[in-house]
Amino acid sequence: MPDEKKSLSDTIRAAIEQDILSGKLPSGTQLEEQQLLTRFNVSRTPVREALIQLESAGLVDLVPRQGAIVASISLREYVAMSEILVQLEALAARLAARRISVQQRKAIQSAQDACRAAAEQADGDAYRKANDAFHQAIYEASCNDILSRQIRTMRARMRGMRDLRFEKPARIRASLAEHEQVLEAILRGSEDDAGAAMVRHIATGGDVYADMIASMPGDAGRARTRR
């Protein structure tokens, strides 16, 4: 019986986690217990165990009298995560340069083609989706599931901050050019160049903003959730 409970709670945790990582459940979303009971057709125990696991992973906040809420972060936390994320992304690019398969080469190139098409139309929403696919293809090519999971989890926690990166055509064009540098280095098999290109790509335009927020006294406030 304990094994069955554990299996149920793990299944529920994995399903909710995937919804959070994919953006289906953005920061600030309240997880109604009754809806979860109905969705998974289970008793309260495995649902509550799953939510406790998600809280331990930093994906959910369990708030008294409010229940479970998809975690938000402060601006200071956002900056701290950005500083870590750039190194994780660089590692993924380095590993991809070393391990990429023929099929994975095609996937990254296809994602970059989608980025280019969106950039030509100055379509920020389309570029954002293609950009996510480009990075996801690199995570897959790194052949490191733990690294991929860490990056996706961190990005999910940062997703509550309104994404303004691709609202200006100039930034879209710059991002596309940075992608080309990352892609070229990966396909050439140069780990050092791929890592360095990824660092430049992730960090571009972020240092001044990061320094400004990090120097603010106290808590700079909670990240705004998407509507």
Is residue 163 helix, strand or coil?
A: coil
The region of weakest confidence among 46-60, 89-103, 188-202 is 46-60
Cα dist from 151 to 192, 221, 226, whole Å: 20, 24, 20
Residue keyed to tokens 């996937």: 107
What's the average model confidence in pLDDT over 17-21?
85
* Exposure class string for 177-188: b at 16+ Cβ within 10 A, else e: ebbebbbebbee
- In this predicted model, which residue has the larger pLDDT, 109 or 19? 109
- The set of residues, in sequence order, having a beta carbon less than 8 Å from that of 197 and lying 6+ positions away, is 93, 178, 181, 182, 184, 185
Domains annotated for the chain, with CATH where assigned, are 8-70 (1.10.10.10), 75-213 (1.20.120.530)
Give the global pTM: 0.74
Nearest Cα to Cα of residue 182 among 167, 168, 193, 169: 193
pLDDT at 62 over 60: yes
The DSSP code for 67 is E
Q: Which amino acid is at 44?
A: R
CB 27 within 8 A of CB 225: yes
207, β-bridge pairs = none
- In this predicted model, which residue has the larger pLDDT, 139 or 166? 139
CB 220 within 8 A of CB 74: yes
What's the average model confidence in pLDDT over 52-62?
91
Confidence grade of residue 74 (pLDDT, cut at 50, 70, 90)? confident
